[in-house]
Amino acid sequence: MKPAPQQRIWMYATMLKSRLFDAAVFEAYWEGKKPVFHMGRGPLPGEMHQSFGQEPTAVGVCAHLGPDDAVGAGHRPHHVAIARGVDLERMAAELFGKKTGLSGGRGGHMHLYDNKVSFFCSGIIAEGMGPGAGMALARKMRKQPGIAVAYNGDGAVNQGAFHEVMNMAALWKLPFVCVIEDNKYAVSVTTRESTAVPAWKRAAAYDCPGEYVTGNDPDLIFEAAARAVKHARDGNGPFILELETERLHGHFIGDVAGYRSKDEVAAQKDPIPSYRQRLLDEKVLTVADMEALEAQVRQVVAAAIQFGRDSEYPAPREALERVFA
């Protein structure tokens, strides 16, 4: 099932939105952190794991999801959150630690939650698996439509939770799609160095389908994701969808990634310009329409970042609130 023109336009616009958002975050992150790098300084403190290059994995899958579905992600969540439709202004405010943030500033960049679109993420590797499958279980128990998708990195597949949850998802035929983003690195350790057999092949152990999509190409990911999502929606149980992608920057902002060779880094391809060109070449959009779309995306991102900057901080004492319901 190939993507329709509108879907391709949505995918491009969403990848661009994610990219521009991350670029703006990158700028803001460095404020206050030069020349002396102190992670806690500046308007955007803490750790920051960005999604440059991984945008296709988010849009190719989320293009198939709707309001009945749920999505969990990991410590590199921005592209997934944006593709899922998380409130961009409240997401920006959360990164800036503001009162208007998704969690009122309590969570920060690795702990983005938006219950309006059933989105959550966690900073602990593979933590999306259990809760993600649990959201699938709830839908099944309550006979509600919808599936759950959990995003994991290539490193996460070696956590025990991966195996435990896949086994149960298979046993109980949960409407669950396990997406693995293979950006080839878990911080400094390559997939080859960490994983004995490619993770998608483990699907055999769970008697469920598994596919690997090469190329970091939104259209190809879209097609494979259509199969995965349909499999889950039809009540046939889980699906492991492993997607080759590219981590264009270091593991977190500030990681010079000395463990990667310069040649390797130079050979990486940015998926967004090539997709843009493809849409123009295939006349999905005219240049004028493309530019108008881009201007619109730029404006939305700028407004969200400004909202984050302009919003107020929470009062210090609010730290004590919301521990319990």
Partner 1 sequence: MTDITVPEGLWGSDDEGVIFAWIYADGARVEAGKLVAELTVEKAQLELLAPASGTLRILAPAETVVRKGTVIGKIEPV
Partner 2 sequence: MVQQASTTGGSARTLTMARAGREAVIAEMRKDPNIFVIGEDIAKLGGVFGTTVGMAEEFGAQRVIDTPISETGFIGIATGAAMAGMRPIVEIAFVDFIGVCFNAIFNFAAKTHYMSGGQFKVPMTMMIGYGGGYNDAAQHSQCLVGTLAHVPGIRIVTPADAHDAKGLMHSCLRDDNLTIWMVHKAIWGLGWLGTALKTAMATVPEEEYTIPFGKARTWREGTDVTLIGYGITVHHSLQAAEKLAAEGISAEVLDLRTIVPLDREAIMKSVARTGRVVVADEDYMNCGVTAEVLATIAERDPQILKAPAVRVANPDVPVPFSRPMENFALPDSDKIAAAAKSTLQS
Quote the least distance from Cβ 191 to partner 2, whole Å: 10
Among 2, 37, 145, 171, binds partner 1 (CB under 8 A): 37
Quote the least distance from Cβ 275 to partner 1, whole Å: 30
Choose the binding region for partner 1 from 29-37, 62-70, 138-146, 175-183 (rule: CB under 8 A).
29-37
Give the CA count within 13 Å in the CB-facing half-sphere of 295.
Answer: 6
For residue 124, give every residue at least 6 positions away whose Cβ sits within 8 Å of its Cβ, in sequence order, or none. Answer: none
Selection from partner 2, partner 1, none that 308 binds (CB < 5 to 8 A by kind) is: none
- Cα torsion at 190, 194, 200, 205 (round to 10°)? 180
Quote the least distance from Cβ 267 to partner 2, whole Å: 19
Selection from partner 1, partner 2, none that 35 binds (CB < 5 to 8 A by kind) is: partner 1
| Closest to 94 in 3D by CA, of 114, 80, 123, 124 | 114
Q: How many CB atoms lie within 10 A of CB 133?
A: 25
Quote the least distance from Cβ 29 to partner 2, whole Å: 11
Residues of this chain that interact with partner 2 (CB under 8 A) are 36-41, 45-47, 94, 97-98, 101, 103-111, 122-126, 155-156, 158-161, 186-189, 193-195, 254, 258-259, 313-320, 323
Per-position x/- string for 231-270, each x denoting binding to partner 1 as judged by CB under 8 A, each - no binding: -----------------------xxx-x------------
Quote the least distance from Cβ 256 to partner 1, whole Å: 5
Cβ closest to partner 1, residue 72 vs residue 250: 250
Contact 59, 35 (CB under 8 A): no
For residue 220, give every residue at least 6 positions away whose Cβ sits within 8 Å of its Cβ, in sequence order, or none. Answer: 60, 213, 214
Cβ closest to partner 1, residue 232 vs residue 253: 253
Selection from partner 1, partner 2, none that 278 binds (CB < 5 to 8 A by kind) is: none
Cβ closest to partner 1, residue 219 vs residue 255: 255
Selection from partner 2, partner 1, none that 281 binds (CB < 5 to 8 A by kind) is: none
Quote the least distance from Cβ 281 to partner 2, whole Å: 40
| Closest to 245 in 3D by CA, of 127, 128, 109, 152 | 152
| Closest to 253 in 3D by CA, of 42, 15, 16 | 42
Secondary structure (3-state) at 167: helix
Quote the least distance from Cβ 261 to partner 1, whole Å: 14
DSSP state of 314: P
Strand order in the sheet with 239-244: 113-114, 119-121, 70-73, 148-153, 176-182, 239-244, 210-213
Selection from partner 2, partner 1, none that 141 binds (CB < 5 to 8 A by kind) is: none
Cβ closest to partner 2, residue 109 vs residue 231: 109
Selection from partner 1, partner 2, none that 7 binds (CB < 5 to 8 A by kind) is: none
The pair of three-digit structure tokens given for residue 177, joined into one six-digit string: 């799609």
Binding site for partner 1 (CB under 8 A): 33-37, 254-256, 258
